Amino acid sequence: MTTAAMTFGMLPLALGLGEGAEQQAPMGRAIIGGVITSTLLTLVVVPVIYSYLDAFEARWLKRSHGPRGGATALTTQPADQRK
């Protein structure tokens, strides 16, 4: 919603409507492009990269620890050892 509000708010500036607005139109276009780019990076690219890194880590841990799958589980609880 914030991205849409910012984009629509900058549209008159980007279109260069009014006297002397042609000087500020490039700034409006740059702001709109930056807001859209940052939104796409935040909502699409970052989660995709995170998913790839998570899958890579899972494969790397599986390969480096062999078939055991990592650390072994405790067979007794610490409270049971006090008895």
Query: Cα–Cα distance between 73 and 18 in angstroms, integer?
Result: 72
- Span 64-77, pLDDT tens digits: 765 555 555 556 66
Q: Which residue has the tokens 């008895």?
A: 83
Query: Cα–Cα distance between 58 and 66 in angstroms, integer?
Result: 12
Mean pLDDT along residues 44-66: 88
pLDDT of the residue at 32: 95
- DSSP of 31-73: HHHHHHHHHHIIIIIHHHHHHHHHHHHHHHHHHHHGGGTSSPP
pLDDT of the residue at 80: 59
Mean pLDDT along residues 60-66: 76
pLDDT of the residue at 69: 52
- Span 18-31, pLDDT tens digits: 888 889 999 999 99
